[in-house]
Structure 1
């Protein structure tokens, strides 16, 4: 990659959440293997982000690569309208086997945000098929579900990254987020706001959508499993479908294969993405019950009205199937337990640092919440110079490393975070 390439990127290519006039610096990655990203200058840095939660087995995994090479010799893509193929069938068999028995109908799509759009459409068509005009979604504050318009509309309208679009979005219902942390005592007041809203709007609510246990971009909060249990009870009582957004948390990240398993609850619709292909290709899935699927299919329209061009992409399905086969060996459980132990041991003492408000650890997720926002450009440069890739946001420095990370590399990630906290220039 030449200097002219870098300049071209700087002038012409938009990166996530960045300005085209004054973009944040980008670091050129020319290859990756295991937990390492190799930069243009030849330096290897440890990826503490799993490429935004997705590369759970690291990079260039031989089993994933083999599945892609084998599939591309057969067919890389074919339309899913009126056509099926072995990769999609094999993947969907695996997904049905892994998820609760209730969830036996699957819609494949391109990305996590689209899987949320699909879930919202399912809810709207479900009630339309029943002759009821229900258009409101109930969720909680600090939620984040993606960057497309439907997903934005059910993300926190005031405290999320989407507030600038507020005037364009439909208004949904937001209960207070629970304050009881995952490992602390349950506060029964946490459910009051949610219960009040669902009681007062029971005939207008099409569905409830939540990020189970972990609220991601909304603050990396880990809430109490009893909250999910109470929500499920209320949804059952009022016959309102419950949707879980497991896009970030699915496939082992929290120590359970799915985060909702911490509460022993089952949704009516489940959204999956990110780690589904092990960080190789983009793919997502929305699973639902036979009851919801049949109700939609019996409507006047007679079908579910959605169909992405790359739906059921054979390459992505093949990678996802291989990824799940790796997970089925159950090595991930020990890996995530070891990561959690190390993060608890090494991150927890930072709670006493004068710059830190809170430290949170769950499974292979470690969060340091600071009193000040980070200067993203400067702290990113600091991390790279110190041999790690960590992408903070606002006042949160967090890591979600690949499951295969060694304890030495994990300790290095934590030590660089500790070092950063003592650099005043990195905080605003």
Structure 2
């Protein structure tokens, strides 16, 4: 005969259970979560990290100084006694619709534990790397210089088993010097050529697909007549043969970027987080680097000045950045590679280049002012804050 459950017994069982559920649920928000269970707080839909304005914050200080062992001398503006460094580093980027938090070096390294980050491209990505290494070293002072075959430079953070490196590949595609070859037209006055194989990645990064969890690519600054004049031009090859008719520089850029994007999509695992950093603008005023161009500014540009400096329609000295960005954006559409559009926020900062403070007595006389790379600490530290947030949202 089945036993009967009395109403009194039901009451005795249910009421204490409800009380316990209510008690524990009220304290649940205060129970510490394990790091692996934390979910990154995503930005609001209105947040645009790449659009905004710079505001002066006198309390803002850089995270590192001239003693960082990963510095490159020409960018170590504190050591080189560049004027106005305190003010340069007092400007804070305020994105549209949200705040940009400064990276927590130890927290970011913990998030990236047992992972590797790579930069591939020209010296502006190296400029970015140095900022990255000096900031992250705050979270692991035991960081050591690191190098392996194919890597130009980098660092290992032993506390977290994280490696961050740079592979120098200024055109991304493989290129090499050759004397003039039969069958190449229009060679009058040509001393030799730089052969560019548009369908072959440079050796420096051709075999890294199994090492990195995050990669940041760039190219653009070498795609100009000052690097490859008519007497030593770029000549583009496909499948081992010269492309006919021969390509002008910007057309060559389009073909190379298209092929390198296709290679990245094919060769790198889908789980690898891939970014393509758009152009870092130059700020030469009064002429190009070899025409006494200067960037001795004490303040960022005004918004009304940006198009005057950078819109290709105005044919100014620094017009190439936006033009190159158009090519790259088009080639990235529909791919897994995310544009890292740091161009606009950097356009304002004419005040933040090494200029004449290059650390060597005759550097300006030989190379002109540096209005292309950035002082460190400086603008690339803000690039890092943005990249760190994007990585946090996506790992």
TM-score, length of structure 2 as denominator length: 0.26
For CA contacts below 8 A with separation 6 or more, give which structure has more relative contact order. 1
Q: Which has the higher helix share?
A: 1
